[in-house]
Amino acid sequence: MAPHRRATLSVRVPVPRPLPLLPLLPLLLLLALLPATPSFASPTPSSGTAAPLPDSLEARRAAEATALYGDSAVRPLAERPVSVVSLGDSQISGEGVGNYEPPTDGPDNWCHRSSDAAIHRTGIPADITYNFACSGASTENVRIGGTPQYADELVQSDSLAIAARNTRVDTILLFVGANDDLQFGPVMTDCVVSWFLFWQGPCHTDYAPGWQARVDGLRPKVEATITDLHTVMAEAGYAPGSYDLVVASYPGPIGPDIHDNPGFPGKIPGGCTGYDSDAVWGRNVAVPSFETGIRAAALAAGATYFDLSRLFHGHEVCMEDPWVRGLWIDLLSHFPPDENTVRQSFHPNSKGHAAFADCLTQLHSLGATPAEASCAVPAGTSAPLLYTHAWNDVFTPLTNTATGQCPAVSATRNGTPVTGTPCTGDRAQQWWHDPATGALHTALSHDRCLDIPGGDYRAGVELGVWDCHGDANQRFTLSPAGTLSPPAAPDLCVTQSAAGARLTLQPCTGSPAQSFT
């Protein structure tokens, strides 16, 4: 990794240990809202002249240039240090990681920019890393002419405008949209409180009917924000294609398969407080719908779309190796309790930001910027891997030729059977065969794969889903005819013998019952 200089002073501060949760349950009733979250080989930059900045911004630019160079002059692009920039909200600012840069840890500024945020940890060869993201930011806090979040903050597009004139910006990473119409943070808070107040029942029944309308409402705001960022760069003298603007989708913080974790600590000690049914809806409906809206906005506005919606599958709160901080009550810094007491909850932790950084580094290493890419953990590994496709384009139903039915799972708990069902196109019927690993992933979770229980390669063995681990009993060869056969037992083929039947292994015969298209 190339050495870099951060654009802001980083001071390590001790992060308070969370207090025991059970005695503090009554305090949750006081918390009405959780704050919302929640280089590519660069072409030669334009040599165009930057448009003048307003006087107040020009004074700040000149001061920052003096700190960098010893004088306030604007250097030619080729003579400037290379920088990378993160913009947006708490998903990328570092909320939940700790080690917050002053003055962003309150009491007058709660941006919670962490010195350990992803933008400071990539392998992109940059001289300077700028983290302008701020916890709670909406598109209003990023767009041209928008509103600063705090008195000592700039609108994020103004911060970018200054950085683009003092350095050569190579890559911009944007996470935004969760705090607009979606209001993801307050929704999470409501769901947590509903679980503690057990008589309220699951929260998803309240939010599901209007969720798509929320996504539809935020999409044009995100698209307009991306367009504004392109305008900022053009006004700073950058030609189209001379920088990369990467717009990322959000990974879900909680999944329903926590009970498969052999070290499951319990919902309260683990901080995964919520109804399992709410976690199912969040993973299977809420996050995918949000992801689809961000994708549409990014592609329409000419940005690179980076699908990270599946990145935390298998690493959610209360899983074996969580990349997300669970419910976190900080009374040492916030007493009496207020909206900041739980603001660090359900955000990517240090491992989550390491995963973001790893994914962005791999994207950068491609050399040429794709229109879209994805990142997730493949079967049998714990490290993210880049894919040059969007997940929505590769997960598809498999139709059995004999029955016309589609194999599906009713859930993703380990051992859930895979059964033929009438084809509807539902995510539970969608699968992706990874040609690199041979794993057949269900669209519901990248961490669940078609599995031959115990590696029992016998005719009649019934198949299910299990934690993806990459062993031979989760590897299948997909033939041009649509047959699926384990390389460890090539004479056996996945078979649906009748309508509604569970998938089994049977001797390969070339029968339509063994063809999936």
Give tens-digit pLDDT for 462-474: 999 999 999 999 9
Residue 60 pLDDT greater than 60, yes or no: yes
Higher pLDDT among residues 1 and 125, named by residue: 125
How many CA atoms lie less than 13 Å away from 337 in the CB half-sphere? 18
Residue 49 has a pLDDT of 87
Higher pLDDT, 47 or 33: 47
Q: Is 455 exposed, middle or buried (0-12, 13-18, 19+ CB in 10 A)?
A: middle
What is the pLDDT averaged over residues 425-442?
97
Tens of pLDDT, residues 291-345: 999 999 999 999 999 999 999 999 999 999 999 999 977 766 666 666 677 788 8
Mean pLDDT of the region 371-395 = 94
Residue 49: which residues within 8 A CB-CB, separation 6 or more? 237
Mean pLDDT of the chain: 90
- Whether 343 and 93 have beta carbons less than 8 Å apart is answered as no
Sequence-separated (6 or more) residues with CB below 8 Å from residue 57: 154, 158, 161, 162
Query: CB within 8 A of 78, min separation 6: which ones?
Result: 45, 168
Backbone phi, then psi, for 367, in 5-degree steps? Answer: 90, -45
Query: Which pLDDT value is given to residue 16?
Result: 33
SS3 content of the chain, % helix, strand, coil (to 5): 30, 15, 50
Strands 128-131 and 5-6: parallel
8 Å CB contact between 428 and 408: yes
When pLDDT is averaged across residues 269-281 and rounded to a whole number, the result is: 96
Give me the mean pLDDT over the 272-285 stretch.
Answer: 96
| Amino acid, single-letter form, for residue 250 | Y
The DSSP letter of residue 179 is T
Q: What is the mean pLDDT of residues 225-246?
A: 97
- Would you say 303 and 249 are in contact if contact means Cβ atoms under 8 Å apart? no
In this structure, what token pair is assigned to residue 344? 């660090």
pLDDT at 335: 63
DSSP 399-426: -BTTT-EEEE-S--STT-B-EEEE----
CA distance 333 to 354: 26
**What are the structure tokens assigned to 387, written together?**
């894919």
Name residues whose C-beta falls within 8 Å of residue 166's C-beta, 6 or more positions apart in sequence: 61, 64, 65, 68, 74, 75, 80
Question: Given a cut of 80, is residue 371 above it in pLDDT?
Answer: yes
Q: Where do the DSSP E strands lie in 227-324? A: 244-248, 304-307
pLDDT score at 213:
98
Given the structure tokens 């709660």, which residue do they identify?
Answer: 110
What is the SS3 assignment for 55? helix
Q: How does strand 304-307 pair with strand 244-248?
A: parallel
Residue 18 predicted with pLDDT over 70: no
Distances (CA, A) of 233 to 48, 51, 325, 515: 11, 10, 35, 52
Q: Give 161's DSSP letter.
A: H
pLDDT bracket for residue 26 (50, 70, 90): very low
pLDDT, residue 48, reads: 61
Closest to 432 in 3D by CA, of 420, 424, 441, 423: 441
